[in-house]
A and B are shown apart, each in its own frame.
Chain A
Amino acid sequence: MTAQDTADAVPELPATLWRDPEPKRGYDVVIVGGGGHGLATAYYLARNHGITDVAVVDKGWLAGGNMARNTTIIRSNYLLDASAGIYEHAMKLWEGLADDLDCPILFSQRGVLNLAHSPQDVREGVRRVNANRLNGIDAEWLDPRQALEICPILNISPDVRYPVLGATYQPRAGIARHDYVAWGFARAADRLGVDLIQDCEVTGIEVDSGRVTGVSTTRGLLTARKVALCAAGHSSVLAEMAGLRLPVQSHPLQALVSELLEPVHPTVVMSNAVHVYVSQAHKGELVMGAGIDQYNSYAQRGGLHVIQRQLAAALELFPIFARAHVLRTWGGIVDVTPDASAILGLTPIDGLYLNCGWGTGGFKATPGAGWCYADTIANGVPHPLAAPLTLERFATGALVDEHGAAAVAH
């Protein structure tokens, strides 16, 4: 990233984004949750499958949940084939998304460094680089000097508590402007005829003889042939309305930004071991996130000690940040699964579909998850890239254990 990239950032959005329709009495497909995943799913249902009798309903305003709260890191350097498949599919879609949606999204492929701080981290990192390459995903293993060339403000001194021993590097990774992504999908879906209905909380899921028939909402009953859940941190609450229990726990995940600074940080740096990840947004603020708060919560906030620990870690890696100020901290509610992989597919109830469990890292999946989910909904069978991510895996034991690559975050 150069100073120029930052200076001329933030392009104008189109003047009209979407209609604000009254809900009809029924739809072919009702998508519950107007975050990134719900909006992308609606768009691909219309664009790829010609299914346009679709409503996306949200209890608040569009994309005010995790979509508005994430730190926008996009990468596809996951360890296992199942994850690499869907995240790399998403990455390829990101690369053409601004054109496809005809909307700026500020996707900046500035690369991501995942730091290693222990011999075990090094082994895990080297293994992941090799696995990525076998899957056709760009990945390099860097020693500390090479990491410093990519990110000149990184502290690679051996004299710290957790010295940097090396890093994986994915050059095609980066960040995007999350709200533009949401609005771009929303506008494109709206243009294809999808109704985006805000301020419409789903309070019940109607099931008749094992088949879904609609949803009750604060704006009345909507009948539907198919209902697709996309409620991220609230997935358990919604599934329970249909009598389904999920292997998901909801936790706070916090992040923060500094005031606007000159461009100093050219890439994205993540460290699972010391629990922090940092990038610098287009406008100039440093964006940092931590690990989840330990307890279950729906409160969209967490403990200050988590932020303190994350800042301590950031300062050791980036001493230059010592005099920056925290402008704002916030939290979202993330849906965590036992194997740190998402659940995407069918449910035991006919016509009810499930997309959840993206936890701390689902922003990067937005186009890929929407694409595969739309295909699954349209055809009634899991898209091949989603097939390993079914709910059944918890009973068969075919887990997709991504704790190494997904653990802290993002």
Chain B
Amino acid sequence: MLIECPWCGPRDETEFHYGGQAHVSYPDDPSVLTDEQWARYLFYRDNPQGRFAERWCHGSACRRWFNAVRDTRTHQIVATYRTGESAPVT
């Protein structure tokens, strides 16, 4: 799989580490969450058959995190973008 790092350009998958679903934000005030809500934050992630916004880290080069939208049925990467940017409409 060829992955386009937003800083370094296209590189082989072996240079990257996977980080799971993107755009999962830390709860504003964890202390007010119920156990069920905390479990949702900690253990539950989307697992779609299709497009998925996910995190990758370019560990063997720039060592920076970024996001990708990838199709889990084909492994085709639709877009990559920098952390802090919102997912492109694809």
Q: Are A295 and B47 in contact (CB under 8 A)?
A: no
Q: Are A250 and B72 in contact (CB under 8 A)?
A: yes
Q: Kindly state whether residue A395 has any CB partner on chain B within 8 Å.
A: yes
Interface 1/0 per residue, B8-45 and A, CB below 8 Å = 00000110011010000000000000011011101111
Known contacts A305-B13, A338-B43; is-contact A295 B54 (Cβ 8 Å): yes
Known contacts A297-B75, A303-B1; is-contact A249 B35 (Cβ 8 Å): no
A281 to B41, CA, bound (A): 43
A295 to B14, CA, bound (A): 12
For chain B, what secondary structure do more than half of its interface residues adopt (helix, strand, loop), or is it mixed? mixed
A136 to B13, CA, bound (A): 45
Among residues of B, the one whose C-beta sits closest to the C-beta of A249 is: B47
When distances are taken between beta carbons in the complex, the residues of chain B under 8 Å from A249 are 20, 45, 47
- Chain A proximity of B58: nearest CB distance (Å): 14
A397 partner, pick from B17, B18, B35, B73, beta carbons under 8 A: B35
In chain A between 377 and 410, which residues have their CB closer than 8 angstroms to a CB of chain B? Answer: 394-397
Among residues of B, the one whose C-beta sits closest to the C-beta of A295 is: B18
Q: Are A296 and B52 in contact (CB under 8 A)?
A: yes
Q: Are B49 and A247 in contact (CB under 8 A)?
A: no
Query: How many residue pairs bridge A and B at CB < 8 Å?
Result: 58
Q: Kindly state whether residue B90 has any CB partner on chain A within 8 Å.
A: no
When distances are taken between beta carbons in the complex, the residues of chain B under 8 Å from A236 are 47-48
Q: Kindly state whether residue B64 has any CB partner on chain A within 8 Å.
A: no
When distances are taken between beta carbons in the complex, the residues of chain A under 8 Å from B70 are 295
- Chain B proximity of A117: nearest CB distance (Å): 22
In chain B between 58 and 89, which residues have their CB closer than 8 angstroms to a CB of chain A? Answer: 70, 72-75
A338 to B21, CA, bound (A): 14
Q: Are B75 and A299 in contact (CB under 8 A)?
A: yes
Known contacts A298-B73, A395-B39; is-contact A305 B14 (Cβ 8 Å): yes
Known contacts A395-B36, A396-B35; is-contact A245 B44 (Cβ 8 Å): yes
A396 to B74, CA, bound (A): 36
Q: Kindly state whether residue A146 has any CB partner on chain B within 8 Å.
A: no
Q: Are A246 and B47 in contact (CB under 8 A)?
A: yes
Q: Are B43 and A298 in contact (CB under 8 A)?
A: no
When distances are taken between beta carbons in the complex, the residues of chain B under 8 Å from A246 are 44, 47
When distances are taken between beta carbons in the complex, the residues of chain B under 8 Å from A394 are 39, 42-44
Q: Are B43 and A247 in contact (CB under 8 A)?
A: yes
Q: Kindly state whether residue A248 has any CB partner on chain B within 8 Å.
A: yes
Nearest 7 interchain pairs by C-beta? A236-B47, A294-B18, A395-B39, A247-B43, A394-B39, A394-B43, A298-B49
Q: Can you list 24 A-B pairs with a CB-CB distance of less than 8 A?
A: A234-B49, A236-B48, A247-B39, A247-B43, A247-B44, A247-B45, A249-B20, A249-B47, A250-B72, A294-B18, A296-B20, A296-B47, A296-B52, A296-B72, A298-B49, A298-B72, A298-B73, A299-B74, A299-B75, A305-B13, A395-B36, A395-B38, A396-B35, A397-B35
Q: Which residues of B contact A (CB under 8 A)?
A: 1, 13-14, 17-18, 20, 35-36, 38-40, 42-49, 52, 54, 70, 72-75
Other 14 A-B pairs with CB < 8 A, given A236-B48, A296-B72: A237-B49, A245-B40, A245-B46, A246-B47, A247-B43, A249-B45, A250-B72, A295-B72, A296-B47, A297-B75, A298-B49, A305-B14, A394-B44, A395-B35
